[in-house]
Amino acid sequence: DSGVTQTPKHLITATGQRVTLRCSPRSGDLSVYWYQQSLDQGLQFLIQYYNGEERAKGNILERFSAQQFPDLHSELNLSSLELGDSALYFCASSVAPAGRGLNNEQFFGPGTRLTVL
Amino acid sequence: GENVEQHPSTLSVQEGDSAVIKCTYSDSASNYFPWYKQELGKGPQLIIDIRSNVGEKKDQRIAVTLNKTAKHFSLHITETQPEDSAVYFCAASKETSGSRLTFGEGTQLTVNP
């Protein structure tokens, strides 16, 4: 158990809908990362937050957005869902802030499996 | 941006044998290289990592080597056991990109009893 929690474990929804995935980082971790894992694109970085602020953006679609709250939990919002958005979505957390001369270990949660029908 | 290539995509070994997985990266500024093990239905689990100021790191049956000049790094598992069967991912990151991880495509390791 990494200490990172994600809810829900599974989510089944229809095209055009909107969903919210939730992540709670390990105790003491300030940075949260979101990754998408699909069969055709592998594990891809989406977005990173540190202490409530967006720090880095990867291949995240405009239909997707995220935020990190004062209690450090994070939510990933996916809207206007398409069949191709079906994937595993992972949250990871780390202690150190980005760009402070320290690449700290990232610990992954169990993921949310999203199925868009 | 960074590109990480991983080989082989599948690897089958007999219990007790060694397994080696290799990765290459493209960005010479990358300075942190973790390895993750992912079992079916679970999230990636960090098993070992290496930083660019170190050439080799060992942790019991697992070792990682890094060749900065050639821009490649490898995972070595000795005395493999059936419970080592999983998908292994290498990754690379650098602090100037906010420590985001760029992953290889993964290697499905099967250890046959």
A104 in reach of chain B (CB within 8 A): yes
Q: What letters, b where the CB count within 10 A reaches 16 and e where it falls short, cover A81-98? A: beeebbbbbbbbbbebbb
**A111 to B43: CB separation less than 8 angstroms, yes or no:** yes
Amino acid at B83: E
List chain A residues with CB under 8 Å of B103.
42-44
> Which of B25, B99, B108 to mutate to probe the A interface, most A CBs <10 Å?
B99
d(CA A113, CA B35): 23
Distances (CA, A) of A29 to A51, A85, A93, B113: 9, 28, 6, 39
Q: Give the length of chain B.
A: 113
- 3-state secondary structure at position B83: helix
**A111 to B102: CB separation less than 8 angstroms, yes or no:** no
**A43 to B46: CB separation less than 8 angstroms, yes or no:** no
Q: Dump pLDDT digits (tens) for B35-72.
A: 999 999 999 999 999 988 889 999 999 999 999 999 99
B93 in reach of chain A (CB within 8 A): yes
Q: Dump pLDDT digits (tens) for A56-101.
A: 899 899 999 999 999 999 999 999 999 999 999 999 999 865 555 5
B100 in reach of chain A (CB within 8 A): yes
Percent of chain A with pLDDT over 90: 79
